[in-house]
Amino acid sequence: MAKQVQVVDDVTIRFAGDSGDGMQLAGTQFTDTTAIVGNDLSTVPDFPAEIRAPAGSLAGVSGFSLHFSSSDIQTLGDALDVLVAMNPAALRVNMRDLKRNSTIIVNTNAFDTKNLKLANYSTNPLEDGTLSGYNVIPVELTKVTMATLEDLSLSLKEKEKCKNFFALGLLYWMYNRPLEITEKWLATKFAKKPELLEANKRVLNAGYNYGETTEIFTTRYDVKPAKLPKGIYRNVSGNEAVALGMVVASLKSGLKLFLGSYPITPASEILQELSKYKDYGVVTFQAEDEIAGIASAIGAAFAGNLALTTTSGPGLSLKAEAIGLGVMTELPLVIVDVQRGGPSTGLPTKTEQSDLLQAMYGRHGEAPVVVLAAQSPADCFFMAIEASKIALKFMVPVILLTDGYLAFGSEPLRIPTFEEIPEITVKFRTEPEGFYPYMRDENFVRPWAIPGTPGLEHRIGGLEKKDVYGGISYEPENHQVMTENREKKVEQVVTIIPDVVVDGAEEGELLIISWGSTYGVIKESLKVVRKAGKDVSHVHLQYLNPFPKNLSAILSKFKKVLVPEMNLGQLSMLLRNKYMKELIQLNKMQGQPFKIAEIEKKIYEVLGA
């Protein structure tokens, strides 16, 4: 029977199953293919914190979501068009995110008595009317996969593991995606295991052909390529983008990049990614703990390198004393904090924005640092470069905040040419005449003198130093001067950061202020409310300490200011403290990003609509 082809603007799909079902792999392959086809896209994996929860349990469900479109998009969207559920637990966990009339592809072989019980189903949802109102596609995924591979001499476990590629092939058919990209990846992945290569290719094609030949499907869908600015694009996660940005900053500054880090979810991939760039002079050191990681980076900065340490919230807590050492020694240091749900171990694999106050104040003594925040996975590339530039220019630690949503999420990055990225000028002190280690320029920045430079011998350390001369000093007045100098240096950063830009009217009834990963969902929400005739403006902050110099003037021009955050109001607290402006808060602490509808609802509530 001939299949109809329906053109659609955008689609959100989710692969969901046990941690061992290969959902992340299937989702990544669909993403790579979709990026090459030319759609704009946004992805986020969702997996349990446990290394391996019991098979079939609700706690063990792993998912990968992908939103792809023929136009520019910023988020995953609010609800799913398609759910691939490999077992009952995957169905139950993800039901809340489904649109009415959406498509559910279920592996019926997994809906047995044991798995239904593990998912807390007293009856089979495929038979009891639970899924009425949805387009349910029952497929014996496991059985068909095993039949496809019956003549191969693989173990039963190896054969069953291939079922994710049957689901992937079926989705490729549904959305008119080519198989060749994944087949090429398989050829590389299993170059030394020809039987596994044959198995996965065979199952991938079987899934594709199943969609073509079965009468269950009457329609397939086509999402045209997005009309994005011309250029070379690469799909990147936030963690990959941070790593790439730091390598570029190293090349632009002419300094070797040193990363001293301890693995922690969700920041570990930055360490793994940077370890691939040894040929570019990058040195990665996996330390025994968080303190050793940052201490090694401070040592590398003292020796004249671009120094980096990466972590998440709990690790940032452990690094607090050493960050103070970086402030006291006045050395350039980039600290990337990939925020996750807290406190304590909290929600290791879920997203949150609750480290802002820790980044601002989470140290003993007056220890000011520069605080930046990336707004999207691709923006992590540019903000890593910006963090490096500021750290090197002002001889100061810079904390770059991302979060789990950005770190694991991905989107296309338009790769700039090397020439498009401004040079990062580094000034080492080389002349001994007139040198003192704590003399300062017009920005209150002390000179950077590499140890071993003749005539520039000096000491640094955690004890307070004498202004200008650098000897240890316990004088009360001197401590006042040095404390104020370190604060003034951070304040001077405002002279090189761009003014914040208002999206919308320059004055009016309502202004939304956001930071971090809330950028995309607010942009999508504004599209909807503006179509409904609501005049709402938006400011997104990437520079959080210091704030852009024109922010005060902007705030004064709006009657109401709404601040959505994935915390209990940390940016709101900082804004109230600095600008004495009454604010309306919208706070979410669920380990999940805001939905478009949540922002819309609050906007209408504030406007009285």
pTM of the model: 0.95
- Report whether pLDDT(2) > 80: no
**410-414 and 233-237 as β-strands: parallel, antiparallel, unpaired?**
antiparallel
Q: How far apart are the C-alpha atoms of 208 and 520, rounded to whole Å?
A: 33
Which helix (H) or strand (E) segment holds residue 9: the answer is none
Report the pLDDT averaged over residues 293-322: 98
Give the whole-number percent of the chain exceeding pLDDT 90: 95
**Which residues of the chain does CATH 3.40.920.10 include?**
4-222
Give the whole-number percent of the chain exceeding pLDDT 70: 100
Instruction: Name which of 562, 569, 571, 567 is nearest 590 in CA terms.
Output: 567
**pLDDT value for 53:** 81
| 379-394 helix and 238-253 helix, angle to the nearest 10 degrees | 40
227-249, pLDDT tens digit by residue?
988 999 999 999 999 999 999 99
Least confident of 52-61, 175-184, 375-384, 457-466: 52-61
136-186, pLDDT tens digit by residue?
999 999 999 999 999 999 999 999 999 999 999 999 999 999 999 999 999
Task: Work out the number of other CB atoms within 10 angstroms of the CB of residue 512.
Answer: 27
Q: How far apart are the C-alpha atoms of 461 and 297, rounded to whole Å?
A: 14
Pull the structure tokens for residue 225: 């390529």
Pull the structure tokens for residue 211: 């969609």
Dihedral sign of CA atoms 399, 405, 407, 411 in order: negative
Longest dimension (CA), the chain: 89
The residue behind tokens 């592809």 is 105
Instruction: Name the DSSP class of 63.
Output: E
343-394, pLDDT tens digit by residue?
999 999 999 999 999 999 999 999 999 999 999 999 999 999 999 999 999 9
DSSP for 305-374, please give it.
-EEEEEE-HHHHHHTHHHHHHHHHHT--EEEEEEE-B-STT-BTTS---TTHHHHHH-SSSS---EEEE-
**584-587 and 558-565 as β-strands: parallel, antiparallel, unpaired?**
parallel
- Report whether pLDDT(4) > 90: no
Do 35 and 239 contact (CB within 8 A), yes or no? no
80-113, pLDDT tens digit by residue?
999 999 999 999 999 999 999 999 999 999 999 9
- 3 state SS of 189: helix
**pLDDT value for 47:** 87
Instruction: Name the DSSP class of 384.
Output: H
**pLDDT value for 1:** 61
Report the pLDDT averaged over residues 512-541: 96
CA distances (Å), origin 330, targets 202, 391, 460, 485: 59, 10, 9, 11
Q: How far apart are the C-alpha atoms of 371 and 355, rounded to whole Å?
A: 11
Burial category of 509 from C-beta neighbours within 10 Å (exposed 0-12, middle 13-18, buried 19 and up): middle
Do 313 and 355 contact (CB within 8 A), yes or no? yes
Q: Which architecture, in CATH terms, is 508-607?
A: 3-Layer(aba) Sandwich (3.40)
Q: How far apart are the C-alpha atoms of 257 and 318, rounded to whole Å?
A: 23
Pull the structure tokens for residue 492: 């001077």
Which helix (H) or strand (E) segment holds residue 40: the answer is strand 40-46
What is the residue type of 604? Y
Pull the structure tokens for residue 566: 């994935």
**pLDDT value for 62:** 94
Pull the structure tokens for residue 116: 């239904």
Burial category of 403 from C-beta neighbours within 10 Å (exposed 0-12, middle 13-18, buried 19 and up): buried
Q: What is the CATH number of domain 4-222?
A: 3.40.920.10
Q: What is the CATH number of domain 233-420?
A: 3.40.50.970
Instruction: Name which of 35, 28, 30, 32 is nearest 226 in CA terms.
Output: 35
Q: How far apart are the C-alpha atoms of 524 and 521, rounded to whole Å?
A: 5
Mean predicted lDDT score pLDDT of the chain: 96
Report the pLDDT averaged over residues 423-442: 96
**Which residues of the chain does CATH 3.40.50.970 include?**
233-420
Alpha helices in 395-518 (DSSP H): 404-408, 476-492
Pull the structure tokens for residue 191: 């170059």
